[in-house]
Structure 1
Amino acid sequence: MVKINSIKTRLNIIGGLFTILVIVLIASGFSMAYRSEQDSYIVNISGKQRMLTQKISKEMFFLHFKDIYDFRNINSALEEFESNLESLTIITKKDSILRSYDNKRLEDKLDEVKNKWIPFKKEILSAIEIIRHIKNDTKILNIKTEQLLNRSDEIVEIMEKEKFSPYYINVSGRQRMLTQRMGMFVKRYLKDGDKQNYALFLEAKKLYDETISSFFNDENIKKDKTLYLYVSNNYNYWQEYKSYIENLIKFESKINNSIEYIYQNNITLLNTMDEVVSLYAKENEAKNKTFVISLYIISILSILGAFYAYSLARQINLGMQEFIEKSKMLSSNVESSSAILNPRDDELKKVSENLKDYMEKVNKAMVDSSNTILKVENIADELEEIVQGIGKALENLDIEESKKNRLRKKISAVEDLAIESTENLIYISKMLTKFQKNLTDVSNEHEEKDN
């Protein structure tokens, strides 16, 4: 295992660790907030689907059993249910990147809802179209029933005018009552689908049909051309009226079948949506549990990171104290510096090595300075002896005075140059001595502070 001695590396590890933990914590918080909002939206929509399923069935019953036909509510519910179902399908597939078991079950369950919804919606739209058709035909039925009643009245009036027997007049008058009963009971049946009303309608219809058929084939009535003409017209109109009512009843039968289908499949669709809501709630609970576990893990890592940071900081502090103590020893024992300064941290090692080299150079400079001072003094003495010897020799020479003067000037210049060189060397020696004194003062002050 690689041993980490660098202070910089340790600090980078601490900073990087806490940066990662903070980023993960913030990202988890934002992710959870977004997922919580999305999950609430999904659960709300899926719960609303159950309400819409019941609303659609309720509106169908209202449309069937009430005289007021308002298709806006049911159309709006159908559109909203289908739109919500599509949204749930898209969100679930988009959210199933990890393809979890519950996600797959949700997709399958939504497909099941969709497969049940398509024929359910088709049956409802078919029933709505029939109800819309019956609404218009019910108005026409009133007109046709009124026309049939008038035709029956006309036959009664002609029979009374032509002095037919009371039997004919009585039977013909009964046709008016039967017409009213047929119109009343068929309207009730179309409204509530009550089989008793349908049975009463069939009874009146059968008696009316038998009566008008007997009139149409009666020889006595045929003899009266005017009466027979009205009876024939009434008979033909009755065939049309009867066919019209039979078609209405067929439509009503289809509506009843649709209502029965809606009633049965509404429960199935509702139960399937309940399962979807349950799965969404379960999925949401699992996500919340995962988030809580991740928070625990992050918290534990944060605590461990804090302990690790404290440990590293303590090691760094101990290393610095050790370095300071050993640097004090270095100032009083240069020769053993390599043994004294041996810190564990890489940065302190570099500082230690630089300090050791610097102190060695300073000590060497101090030694060289002492040697230089001695050399300068020796050179000054030698120069002085040389100049004195040349001066004596010049006085003993037998040459012209002018030449002696020129030689004296040159000797004097050499002497001046020697003096100047000596002064420079003395100045340099003084500067080195001053530098040595300053270093000694710094060292003494450092020792006083340490003590």
Structure 2
Amino acid sequence: MKRIVKQLIIVGSIVSLCVGTVILSTVLINQKGISDGYIINIAGKERMLSQKISKEIFIINSQDKFEFRELDASIEEFQTKLDILRHGNQKLGVAPPNNKKIENQLEVINVKWLEFKKQVEFFKSSIRALDDDKRFLDANNNQMLTLSDRIVKAMVYSGLSGEDVDDSGRQRMLTQRMAYHLMRYTNKWDAQSYEDFYASFKLYNETILRFYTHPKYKKYPELSEEIKKTYAFWETYSKHIYSVLSNQGKVVASLNYIATENPKLLEEIDKMVALYTVESTSRRTYLETFQYASALILFLIALYSLAVLKGIKNQFDEFIRKSKELASMRIDSSEFSKDKAKELIEMSGDSELSEVSKNLSTFFGRIDEARQSSNRAKELSERITQEIALITEEVATNLDKLELSDEEKRKISEEIDLSEDIAIQSSEELIATSKLLERLRQSLDNIAKHYPNPPASKPL
């Protein structure tokens, strides 16, 4: 049988280990749940930001005044959160991904995002330039109309033909028609508006160029001067028109790209969120399984502990039963013996109770030896006294038969008296020693009566 203390230490250690494991796994589950929830929230917010960026772009495109603050804030936040997901953030307690699938998916998103971001920045620069050109055209459209009207008046004043006057009058209409169809095209991006605009633009450009280069108009100094002024201004005005068309094409291309690629970017982000969710669920399932296993082990250890405690209780019950039997015996009775006491108190195994039983057995053996020594001393004292008495009586009897002088008999009698005195003194000393041994035996009897009388055991 194993030692009780050792059993209790083993049981306590295993129970402590299992309890600590359960507590630690619970803490890890809670921490991982918080961490995973935070990461999934970041990944989910990336989806919202990708849509917000696209929304802000189309809102900006539909307005006359451009405000990029919300768009820039969304772009910066998207980039920051993507960097956190890719590289981690020690301050926020976010570690870099250790899942290869998630790492690869983040790289896919990063590549698409960089191209998407490039197009967004290209849109911003293009629409700024487009707005500057449109503002110039809007601000100078009346100037273009005024210059064209002066050419009409100069032709009428110069007395040119009705065909020439009609051509110059058509120029005034074309300035407004160009402005109308250009505005329509920049808002609707439709082919019909562009064709209508381009037809007006081409006709106006051909007519003013003909006015500027034809010799007959140079004959009229006032008309020629108005044509030169109008043509010079038209060159600047037309450059802005070309710039509007170019930038409008860039804006439209960027918007088309954003409209096409935004769902693709969103799809990749959805995949990333799904991977994070699966990983979080798998990790939590693993930790919960580990926790359940620890709880099961703890339950088994509890059963084992009950078995161990029951065994310890049985040992105590046996020890108490034997001690009660021993307590009911008297040392001075015939039924008490060293072997009998050893048999009663002896317990098998190497537990602490077994050691106690062995010590008690040794103790009662010594008590028995002391009792036997006391009895032997008493018997020896009585035998010595009897032997001395016999010797004295025999010497006294034989003394009368010897032919000795009175002086010799007197000396012998003195020696005999001295021997009797020595014998009496020795006997008295032996009697005293016997009494002391008897007191010792009585003390040992009293010890034996009270020592093996333990208090009633409490049930385990």
TM-score grouping bracket, smaller chain normalisation: 0.7 to 0.9
Question: Aligned letter for 2:338?
Answer: V
The correspondence for 1:230, drawn from 226, 229, 236, is 226
2:338 corresponds to: 334
The correspondence for 2:321, drawn from 318, 321, 325, is 325
Using the size of structure 1 for normalisation, the TM-score is 0.82
1:301 corresponds to: 297
1:77 and 1:333 map into 2 onto residues whose CA distance is: 99
**Contact 1:319–1:343 (CA under 8 A) maintained in structure 2:** no
1:347 and 1:317 map into 2 onto residues whose CA distance is: 13
1:300 and 1:193 map into 2 onto residues whose CA distance is: 70
SS for the counterpart of 1:335 is helix
1:69 and 1:424 map into 2 onto residues whose CA distance is: 131
**Contact 2:337–2:368 (CA under 8 A) maintained in structure 1:** no
Structure 1 residue 168: Cα displacement: 2.8
**Contact 2:182–2:194 (CA under 8 A) maintained in structure 1:** yes
**Contact 1:328–1:450 (CA under 8 A) maintained in structure 2:** no
Deviations 1:233-254 (A, max 9, x none): 2123212221221122111111
The correspondence for 1:259, drawn from 250, 255, 258, is 255
Question: Aligned letter for 2:16?
Answer: T
1:277 corresponds to: 273
The correspondence for 1:369, drawn from 368, 371, 374, is 374
Cα gap change, 1:251 to 1:370, in 2 (>3 Å)? same
1:113 and 1:250 map into 2 onto residues whose CA distance is: 31
1:217 corresponds to: 213
2:39 corresponds to: 42
Question: Aligned letter for 2:279?
Answer: E
2:105 corresponds to: 109
**Contact 1:64–1:192 (CA under 8 A) maintained in structure 2:** no
**Contact 1:93–1:107 (CA under 8 A) maintained in structure 2:** no
Structure 1 residue 119: Cα displacement: 0.9
Cα gap change, 1:65 to 1:448, in 2 (>3 Å)? closer
1:277 and 1:218 map into 2 onto residues whose CA distance is: 70
The correspondence for 2:86, drawn from 76, 89, 97, is 89
Question: Aligned letter for 2:31?
Answer: Y
Structure 2 residues not aligned, in runs of 5+: 89-93, 330-335, 390-406, 412-417
Deviations 1:123-168 (A, max 9, x none): 1111111112222332222233233222212222323333433333
SS for the counterpart of 1:164 is coil
Cα gap change, 1:424 to 1:263, in 2 (>3 Å)? farther
1:137 and 1:146 map into 2 onto residues whose CA distance is: 15
Question: Aligned letter for 1:283?
Answer: E
Structure 1 residue 271: Cα displacement: 0.8
2:385 and 2:184 map into 1 onto residues whose CA distance is: 148
1:140 and 1:449 map into 2 onto residues whose CA distance is: 113
Question: Aligned letter for 1:351?
Answer: V
1:80 and 1:432 map into 2 onto residues whose CA distance is: 102
The correspondence for 1:172, drawn from 161, 168, 177, is 168
SS for the counterpart of 1:121 is helix
Cα gap change, 1:423 to 1:163, in 2 (>3 Å)? farther
**Contact 1:159–1:227 (CA under 8 A) maintained in structure 2:** yes
**Contact 1:322–1:343 (CA under 8 A) maintained in structure 2:** no
Number of matched pairs: 419
Question: Aligned letter for 2:104?
Answer: D
**Contact 1:156–1:172 (CA under 8 A) maintained in structure 2:** yes
**Contact 1:21–1:298 (CA under 8 A) maintained in structure 2:** yes
Alignment map for 1:345-424 (pairs within 5 Å): 345-373=350-378
Question: Aligned letter for 1:367?
Answer: Q
Moved more, 34-43 or 135-144: 135-144
Aligned-residue Cα RMSD (Å) equals 3.4
The correspondence for 1:434, drawn from 439, 442, 451, is 439
Structure 1 residue 104: Cα displacement: 1.9
Question: Aligned letter for 1:249?
Answer: L
Moved more, 218-227 or 188-197: 188-197
Alignment map for 1:141-152 (pairs within 5 Å): 141-152=137-148
